[in-house]
Amino acid sequence: MHLIDLVIIVAYLAGTVIFGAWFSRSQKDVKDYFVGGRSVPWWAIMGSIVATETSTVTFISVPGVAFTGNWAFLQLVMGYMVGRIVVSIIFVPAYFRGELLTVYQILGVRFGAGVKRLAAGLFLATRSLADGVRLFATGLVLAALLLAMPGIEAAARAWVPGLDPTITILVASVLVMGLTTIVYTYLGGMSAVIWTDVIQLVVYVVGAIVAAVVLLQRIPGGWAEVQAAASAASKFRVFDFTWDVSRSYTFWSGVVGGAFLTTATHGTDQLMVQRYFASRSPRDARRALLVSGAVVFAQFVLFLGIGTMLWVFYTAHAPAEAAGFSVGGRLQTDRIFPAFIVAHLPTGLVGLVVAAIFAAAMSTLSSSLNSSAAASMADFYIPLTGARRSDADYLRTSRLLTAGWGVLQMGVAVSAIWLSSRVVDEVLGIASFTNGVILGVFLLGTFAPRVGQRAALAGLATGAVVMLAVKVLTSVSWQWYVLVGSSVTFCAGSATSALGLDARPPRETGR
């Protein structure tokens, strides 16, 4: 790696930590730490939403989707936009009824502490496992990218002579991303998360645009050639109306399944909902959520466009390089964009794009750490202490929890190195079906006023069992999981209540 590229990366990481530390000056209590004093402008929250749902794996993998296929992925993004509309109508108003720190406090008020703690516990467990594995996956991308640079492999062998250089760079990448993110999230809280997300959004979008411009310049015929070649191969095809529940990225699984998926992730998951709590009003929260849908759509058009241009470049102008993307006869799509970055971007721009990859990873990780600490505090620690501790004690504990969840996720990421790819895939799939059952409980709370705690717990348990069966025994696409899980949970909870098997304990009143 050239010195200027390294300087850019180090400067970005150091600047992020300093920027996050700046926000620690005005923090007095958990309200400041977890919801930014409820004073963040809507456009910053919008940028944070977009950055959080865009991981490094997305940054690298979506171009690979277009390389091997077409633009059918956009059907799922259309579903994302529909889901945002549903969330803004059904759930956003409830977020501003009281001084909430987590979305699960709504369940405590509606069903009692048992349902709240179970939902929060599921969130904490699945978030730690899934995001730890995502950190590992990001480390894989960075390791592949860095090892393709001259001198990096030799340096890794010199640092740790008895270890595979890939593992050395992978662990180093995880530690750098993890420790940097822990420090600025620990110090700055949600305000640091949101404002660094905005910066990170700009960094990775600019990085992607720069890479796209350089890529287009490498294609002799420019955009006209891309359009002609891709159109002839149906690369720009968006819609697929095939009805097959085992297929992903059809119109039905994308738009319908994607709408339910986003309703869950953006309406009932603390990772996203915490941003709405930081906004000034329900109107600002709605605006941030809806505008983020348009930005996400444009962003995925950019990523898919990069993938299509990569296909034209490597098939028509660099087929010899493309041969290196296959291992054991299988095309490794996640290698394509990183390989182009290393081989074809000029000095300086490589550092910018690597910084962009770090940015995409850190925006997701910081949100995970802060939301996990918020759920631990508001749903467990504060109720257990009877809200009798001082603001300084709760603020100090919140920071310690942030660091603790960060260390745990780094541990999961490093442990994943020695797990099989099958286990890694299963861990990543956990969140997709727990999101469905949690959404089902929220729908019970919203649309089934006679349902109490026992019926809600019965619905949640039934939904989890059915989703496990769907996952293990069927070939149903993951894009249907939230629809199936939420529907089963809602129906089972309603049936339990209708059969007179329900009981309603005293509701929580909150802090």
Q: Higher pLDDT residue, 347 or 270? A: 270
pLDDT band at 104; cut points 50, 70, 90: very high
* pLDDT of 339: 83
What confidence category does residue 102 fall into, taking pLDDT thresholds of 50, 70 and 90?
very high
Cα separation, 52 vs 367, whole angstroms: 7
For 369-380, the pLDDT digits (tens) are: 999 999 999 999
Q: Can you tell me the mean pLDDT for 478-505?
A: 87
What distances in angstroms separate CA 275 from CA 42, 323, 343, one per listed residue?
10, 44, 39
CB atoms within 10 A of CB 90: 15
Q: Give the pLDDT confidence score for residue 428 in this predicted structure.
A: 53
Degrees to nearest 5, angle at CA 139 with 203 and 171: 125
Lowest-confidence segment of 268-272, 348-352, 438-442, 453-457 by average pLDDT: 348-352
pLDDT for 4 equals 85
| Averaged pLDDT, 383-387 | 90
pLDDT above 80 for 257 = yes
- What pLDDT is recorded for position 500? 81
pLDDT at 271: 92
pLDDT tens-digit series, residues 176-205: 889 999 999 999 899 989 998 898 888 889
pLDDT at 376: 96
Q: Name the one residue in this structure whose structure tokens are 């769907």.
A: 470
- Whether the pLDDT of residue 135 is over 70: the answer is yes
Q: How far apart are CA 446 and CA 449, in angstroms?
A: 7
Task: Report the percent of the chain where pLDDT is more than 90.
Answer: 53
Residue with tokens 């727990």: 434
Banded pLDDT at 332 (limits 50, 70, 90)? confident
Cα–Cα distance between 441 and 464 in angstroms, integer?
Answer: 12
| Residue 504 pLDDT | 57
Residue 285's pLDDT is 95
Does residue 511 register a pLDDT over 70? no
Average confidence (pLDDT) over 271-277:
93
> Average pLDDT of the chain?
88
* Mean pLDDT across 39-59: 89
Q: What's residue 141's pLDDT?
A: 76
Give me the amino acid identity at 428.
Answer: L
Sign of CA dihedral 133, 137, 143, 146: negative
Q: Average pLDDT in the 104-113 region?
A: 92
Cα dihedral: 109, 115, 121, 123 (round 10):
-70
Whole-number pLDDT of residue 357: 80
Q: How confident is the model at residue 505 (pLDDT cuts 50, 70, 90)?
A: low
Question: What are phi and psi for residue 376, nearest 5 degrees?
Answer: -60, -40
Higher-scoring residue by pLDDT: 374, 20:
374
| Cα–Cα distance, 311 to 319 (Å, whole number) | 10
Phi–psi pair at 327, nearest 5 degrees: -130, 120
Can you give the pLDDT at residue 430? 67
- Give residues with Cβ within 8 angstroms of 283, minimum separation 6: none
Across residues 82-91, what is the average pLDDT? 96
Q: Are 4 and 348 in contact (CB under 8 A)?
A: yes
Assess whether pLDDT exceeds 60 at residue 427.
no
Within 10 Å of residue 487's Cβ, how many Cβ atoms? 17
Q: Say what the pTM is.
A: 0.90
Residue 429 has pLDDT above 90, yes or no: no
Q: pLDDT tens across 386-397, in order?
A: 888 898 999 999
Average pLDDT over residues 81-98: 93
